[in-house]
Amino acid sequence: MSQATFTSAQTISAGGARAVERCRSLTRPPFSEEQDALTRPYLTPAHQTTCARLADWMEEAGMEVRTDPAGNLIGRYKGTSDAPLLLIGSHIDSVRDGGAFDGPLGIMLGIECIAALAAKGRRLPFAIDVAAFGDEEGSRFPASMLTSRAVAGTLDPAALAITDGDGVTLDAALASVGLATTAFAAAAYAPGSVAAYLEAHIEQGPLLEAEGLALGVVTAIAGQRRITVNVTGVPGHAGTNAMHLRRDALTAAAEAILAIESVARAGKSDLVATVGRMTVMPGATNVVPGRVDFTVDVRSGSDAERDAATGEILAALHAIATSRGVTVVAEETQMLAASPCDPALIDRLAAAVAATGQEPRCLVSGAGHDAMVMAALAPTAMLFIRCTGGISHNPAEDVIEADVEQALAAMLTFIEGLAA
C-alpha cells in the first residue's frame, strides 16, 4: 500500500484514544463522498481511500493486508499454528450523513488489539484476521451485508445483479476498482476455518447510557425484512383534477405509511417498522403525483413476530390500493433471520467485561450487524460500547474514550481466554 502521510492519529499512543481519533479522522473528504458530512458508500472513491488508510494502520500494527474479491480489506496477524482463526470485524461503509463510529470503531479496536499483542511480541496459537467489510449498510445498493455474506459463503449469486440509485451496476462498480462479480464468491472463508467471530460496535441505543454502563454483551441480533413499495396512480393537473376523481399516488402512500406505523406500534416492544426513503414522481408542484416509491424496514427479535407484522403491512397496502384505485407493488429486497450469539462466547465475553470491573450487561441488538451474517461461518460474539444519547446514523454520534479503552481491555482478555 502507498505510504500515506498519517494524520494526528499517529501522534496519539496506541489504544482506545487512538481508535477514537482515527474514527474521527475519517469523517470528511477524501474519506467521505460529501464535503460537509460523512457519506461513504461501498466501492466509491471515499471507500477506496479509506481502505488505503486502514491498510497503512493494519501494516503498522504488524498485519499482512489484502483486499478480497468482494472489496473487503482484511489484515492478518499470524499465529503459531494453522488452527481455526479468530476473525474480528465490522464495516467501513456508512449511511448518508452518518456518524464517525458506526462500523469503523470495531475495525479500529481490532487493529488496536493486534498492536497491543505485537508490542509484546505475543503470538497466539491461531491467526487473527481483522476485516473491514465494504457493504453492511446497503446505502448504495438495494441489499445490505453483501460483502460479509460473501465472506460467510452464504451469498446467492442472483443477489449480485443489482444497480445503485444512479444506475451503476454492481459489476461496473467492482470493475472500477479492479474486481468482478464473477470472482465475488471467492471471498468465502473455508467452512471450519474460523473458530470465532468477534465484533465490537457502538450500541446505537440508549440502554447502556441509561444504566451508567460502558459495555454490553449482545445475546442476539434482531431479524430484518426490507421491502420496496411502488404506488402507481394517475398523474394530473393540480388545478383541474377534482378531488373525488383523483388517483393520487402520494396520498395513498401517506395512508400506507401511517398504516405501517400503527402495525408496528401495536406489536411487542422490540417490533419496529421504518419508512426511510421515498421518491415522488414527477415531483412538480402543480402535478398530482402519479408514482411513489418507498422503502420499508421491519425488525423484531422474533422472526415469527417480524413475519406476522410484515403480513399485516402487506394486507394494509392491498386494502389501501383497492380503496384508492391505485396499484401497489411490494417487492422484498432482503430477509435476515434473527441471529443468536454463541452461548459459550457470550459467557467468555461477559467474563472479560467483568474483568474490567464492570458487571456484565446482556442485551438484544435492534440494529443489524455483520455478525448476524457471520453466524453462518462461525460462532459469534458482539461487544457493545455506550454511545452518547444512544444516537447513531447521525453526525452527532459520539463515544467516551475511557469506554473504548475498557472495550479494548475486554477484547484482549477475551482473546487471551480463547488462546488458553
Q: With binding defined as CB under 5 A, does residue 403 bind Mn ion?
A: no
**Nearer of residues 367 and 375 to ligand HGY, judged by Cβ:** 367
- Count CB atoms within 10 A of the CB of residue 337: 16
**Nearer of residues 56 and 199 to ligand HGY, judged by Cβ:** 199
Pick one of ligand HGY, Mn ion, none as the site partner of residue 250 (Cβ within 5 to 8 A by kind): none
Q: Which three cell numbers, joined as nine digits, stand for 79?
A: 499465529
When computed from its CA atoms, the radius of gyration of the chain, rounded to whole angstroms, is 23
At closest approach, how far in Å is the CB of 137 from ligand HGY? 5
Q: Which three cell numbers, joined as nine digits, stand for 20?
A: 477514537
User: d(Cα 405, Cα 407) in Å, to the nearest integer?
Assistant: 5
Q: Which residue has the cell 395513498?
A: 252
Pick one of ligand HGY, Mn ion, none as the site partner of residue 368 (Cβ within 5 to 8 A by kind): ligand HGY
Name the residue among 100, 95, 91 with its Cα closest to residue 28: 100
**Nearer of residues 68 and 199 to ligand HGY, judged by Cβ:** 199
Which residues contact ligand HGY by CB under 6 A? 136-137, 144, 367-368
User: d(Cα 133, Cα 197) in Å, to the nearest integer?
Assistant: 13
**Nearer of residues 16 and 368 to ligand HGY, judged by Cβ:** 368
H/E element holding 333? strand 327-336
At closest approach, how far in Å is the CB of 396 from Mn ion? 14
**Nearer of residues 55 and 367 to ligand HGY, judged by Cβ:** 367
Distance spanning both ends of the chain, measured CA to CA: 34
At closest approach, how far in Å is the CB of 359 from ligand HGY? 27
Task: Collapse the DSSP code of 331 into the 3-class scheme (helix H, G, I; strand E, B; otherwise coil) and give the result.
Answer: strand
**Nearer of residues 93 and 405 to ligand HGY, judged by Cβ:** 93
Please choose, out of 41-49, 100-108, 125-133, 227-235, the segment that lies near Mn ion by the rule CB under 5 A.
100-108
At closest approach, how far in Å is the CB of 368 from ligand HGY? 4
The 8-class DSSP code of residue 342 comes to P
Please choose, out of 103-111, 213-221, 240-248, 340-348, the segment that lies near Mn ion by the rule CB under 5 A.
103-111
The mark string for 61-90 relative to Mn ion (x by CB under 5 A, - otherwise) is ------------------------------
At closest approach, how far in Å is the CB of 347 from ligand HGY? 25
Please choose, out of 55-63, 98-106, 321-329, 399-407, the segment that lies near Mn ion by the rule CB under 5 A.
98-106
Pick one of Mn ion, ligand HGY, none as the site partner of residue 93 (Cβ within 5 to 8 A by kind): none
H/E element holding 372? helix 370-374
CB 413 within 8 A of CB 350: no
**Nearer of residues 202 and 253 to Mn ion, judged by Cβ:** 202
What's the chain's length in residues?
420
**Nearer of residues 232 and 300 to ligand HGY, judged by Cβ:** 300
User: d(Cα 147, Cα 89) in Å, to the nearest integer?
Assistant: 12
Long-range contacts, stretch 391-396, CB < 8 angstroms, 24+ apart? 391/99, 392/99, 392/101, 392/102, 392/202, 392/204, 392/205, 392/367, 393/95, 393/98, 393/99, 393/102, 393/204, 394/97, 394/98, 394/99, 395/27, 395/37, 395/38, 395/97, 395/98, 395/99, 395/100, 396/99
CB 400 within 8 A of CB 202: no
Q: Which of residues 187-246 bind Mn ion (CB under 5 A)?
A: none
At closest approach, how far in Å is the CB of 360 from ligand HGY? 23
At closest approach, how far in Å is the CB of 275 from ligand HGY? 14
**Nearer of residues 164 and 199 to Mn ion, judged by Cβ:** 199
At closest approach, how far in Å is the CB of 136 from ligand HGY? 5
At closest approach, how far in Å is the CB of 219 from ligand HGY? 17
DSSP string, 118-143: HHTT---SEEEEEEEES-SS-SSSSS
Identify the residue among 33, 68, 102, 164 touching Mn ion (CB under 5 A): 102
Binding residues for Mn ion (CB under 5 A): 102-103
